[in-house]
Structure 1
Amino acid sequence: MVAKIPKPEANSIDVLNLVLGERVWHREFYGRIKQDLTARYQLYDDQKGCPSGMPPLVLRDYVDSDEDAIGRKKSLIGLYEPDEGKYPYNELEKLRKKNKLLACPVCGELGRPRTLDHCLPKTTYPEFAINLLNLVPACDWCQGEKLADFQNDVGTRSFLHPYYDDINRPLYRIRLEEPYLTPIISLEILDHLPKELQNLVASHLDGITFWERFKEYFESSYQNIIRMASETRAGGKVTVTTIIDSAYSLEIGKGVNSWDAVVYRSLLEDAEVMDFLETGELSEFP
């Protein structure tokens, strides 16, 4: 389930100022960079996390030597691992452990995501290491697949951003090819989406190896639907379409792109598959 989620409750710039106010080491560096850091945080929000036209800060501009620049990069990255009781320890813990999510918003893996993904990697953008808007709860697998990837050939984001992108609408569907009892199943992005969004969804799904990871789930889900259709027809009280439509109504409450919602919606929109489930030979599943 690729899903849009609420931004963090805490204001990123306020948190940044609290963090900088606690600095004891390298106070001169943080004093020099504070104004530009604040401006960059605002730029990040204005550009919705897109790196185009937002190259990393040149840390050498704020220090006296190349060696110092290397050290201050480590210092900025180190802000992401504060001691308990220091800023932004509580804010990061809330995003990790109290995000109230039931699935990874990057891929849909069920279970509360307990790691944070830097949308713009902190190794490239150390200035955004603790930018709350740059930190998205994600499952371990998605974080491992993305690593430091973030930008496509034209300089824009190669991944959807759960805080910013308009993705609370159907994005993709599964397609079934005959024989419908044991079909070939594929995933396709909906062609009525804006072209820019289509391309972004495609690069996102490819970047997290979505279909490779979850193809078996969709195949198993469809086989369960065949069993359900067989039992429904044997009972003779309601139609298969009614059962699937009811199941879809329940699943869409979890998210329009939750995996099962995608499955049920895809079936309901495919007249040939629905005809098979209503009238086709299902004898292998008595």
Structure 2
Amino acid sequence: MVSKVKTPEDDSIEILKGVLSERRKYKQFYNRIANDLLTQTELFIEHQGNPLVLTPLNLDSYTDSAEEASQRKQSLIGLYTPNNDKLPFVQLEMMRKHNGLVVCPSCGEPGRPRTLDHYLPKDIFPELAVLLLNLTPMCDWCQGEKLTGYLTEDGQKRYIHPYFDEVNQPLFSISFSPPFATPSIGLSVKNELPEALSSLVKSHLKGVDFLTRFKEYFKTRYISVLRKAQKCRQPVEIGFRQTLRLLLEMEEEKSINSWDAVLYRSILENDELMEYLENSALPENL
């Protein structure tokens, strides 16, 4: 699941000012919008991207026709795909290819995320298209599920922001239903979470279609767990519980809510399942 991510090294406002200073085409438009664009950026930073506070700029206010407003919207969005000699090409490449992550910070799936997601979508907030703090590393699947969503059906914040939200704690557990040889699974948000964070975690998990994806992953990983349980019954092996704790510790180094960390932690927290794995007859031909 979600990880807290270090903010980009470059100053978002200074990069934006540099982008604006490079504009030659549509100079009149950029001169008109520059102050409000910077104010919008400062508001985003002050309120940590909270979509309940931010309202998209009305581009009609900076253009002379609806057609021109539509065209300049595309100009703003186009700033996200600069030539390699323009800002923020280098910064975006670093964020995509050298982010130091080994799991997706949006869902916790293993693997380095190599795409960037606009937390507030650039199609709705084109003025934030190159705001570094609005760009977060994300796996392809999460990005495909999130698309331009950012609010729940009842108008609340839908997704966790990995730069700003305090999520460096276990957020949810996997529940297991017998038979434990081939259990079915579900999700349970941690009871100790504050109400607002609990609601946000639920909407985030639903928004990235976490459970559907984790079920497929679980099929393979649980066979590995069963094999470990079987192996740990040999006299020369350490106990299964200790093995899981060691595995959990290693996985938490990647992210406290990485998929395997969530899996091992959930198994350890489930007394009935642990009793089965430590003492009951396990499936043959593992």
- TM class by shorter chain equals over 0.9
Q: Could you tell me which residue of structure 2 aligns to residue 134 of structure 1?
A: 134
Compute the displacement of 1:277 (Å). 1.7
Q: Could you tell me which residue of structure 2 aligns to residue 174 of structure 1?
A: 174
- Give the stretch that moved more between structures: 20-29 or 101-110: 101-110
**2:267–2:273 contact (8 Å) kept in structure 1:** yes
Work out the percentage of aligned pairs sharing the same amino acid. Answer: 46
Is residue 227 of structure 2 the alignment partner of residue 227 of structure 1?
A: yes
Q: Could you tell me which residue of structure 2 aligns to residue 183 of structure 1?
A: 183
Is residue 117 of structure 2 the alignment partner of residue 117 of structure 1?
A: yes
Compute the displacement of 1:236 (Å). 5.1
Question: 2-side partners of 1:112 and 1:264: how far apart?
Answer: 21
Q: Could you tell me which residue of structure 2 aligns to residue 281 of structure 1?
A: 281
**2:181–2:283 contact (8 Å) kept in structure 1:** no
- Give the stretch that moved more between structures: 37-46 or 220-229: 220-229
- Structure 1 residue runs of 5 or longer lacking an equivalent are none
Amino acid corresponding to residue 72 of structure 1 in structure 2: R
Question: 1-side partners of 2:154 and 2:46: how far apart?
Answer: 19
| CA displacement, residues 113-169 of structure 1 (integer Å, 9 cap, x when unaligned) | 111111111111100000111111111111111111111234332111111111110
Q: Could you tell me which residue of structure 2 aligns to residue 3 of structure 1?
A: 3
Amino acid corresponding to residue 225 of structure 1 in structure 2: V
Q: Could you tell me which residue of structure 1 aligns to residue 255 of structure 2?
A: 255
Compute the displacement of 1:184 (Å). 1.9
Normalised by the length of structure 2, the TM-score is 0.95
Is residue 132 of structure 2 the alignment partner of residue 108 of structure 1?
A: no
Q: Could you tell me which residue of structure 1 aligns to residue 29 of structure 2?
A: 29
- Give the stretch that moved more between structures: 276-285 or 67-76: 276-285
**1:4–1:167 contact (8 Å) kept in structure 2:** yes
RMSD over equivalenced CA pairs, Å: 1.5
Report the secondary structure of 1:233's partner residue. Answer: coil
- Give the stretch that moved more between structures: 107-116 or 36-45: 107-116
- Structure 2 residue runs of 5 or longer lacking an equivalent are none
| CA displacement, residues 231-284 of structure 1 (integer Å, 9 cap, x when unaligned) | 111235432211112221222111111111111111111222212222111252
Amino acid corresponding to residue 16 of structure 1 in structure 2: L
Amino acid corresponding to residue 166 of structure 1 in structure 2: E
Amino acid corresponding to residue 74 of structure 1 in structure 2: Q
Is residue 207 of structure 2 the alignment partner of residue 198 of structure 1?
A: no
**1:18–1:87 contact (8 Å) kept in structure 2:** yes
Is residue 151 of structure 2 the alignment partner of residue 151 of structure 1?
A: yes
Question: 1-side partners of 2:142 and 2:283: how far apart?
Answer: 40
Report the secondary structure of 2:233's partner residue. Answer: helix
Compute the displacement of 1:182 (Å). 2.0
**1:226–1:285 contact (8 Å) kept in structure 2:** no
Compute the displacement of 1:179 (Å). 2.1
Question: 2-side partners of 1:246 and 1:98: how far apart?
Answer: 28
Report the secondary structure of 1:203's partner residue. Answer: helix
**1:51–1:155 contact (8 Å) kept in structure 2:** no
Taking structure 1 as reference, are residues 283 and 108 closer, same or farther at Cα in structure 2, changes over 3 Å only?
closer
| CA displacement, residues 198-232 of structure 1 (integer Å, 9 cap, x when unaligned) | 11111111111111112121233222112111111
**2:172–2:189 contact (8 Å) kept in structure 1:** yes
Amino acid corresponding to residue 250 of structure 1 in structure 2: M
Is residue 33 of structure 2 the alignment partner of residue 50 of structure 1?
A: no
**1:230–1:285 contact (8 Å) kept in structure 2:** no
Taking structure 1 as reference, are residues 237 and 64 closer, same or farther at Cα in structure 2, changes over 3 Å only?
closer
Taking structure 1 as reference, are residues 186 and 154 closer, same or farther at Cα in structure 2, changes over 3 Å only?
closer
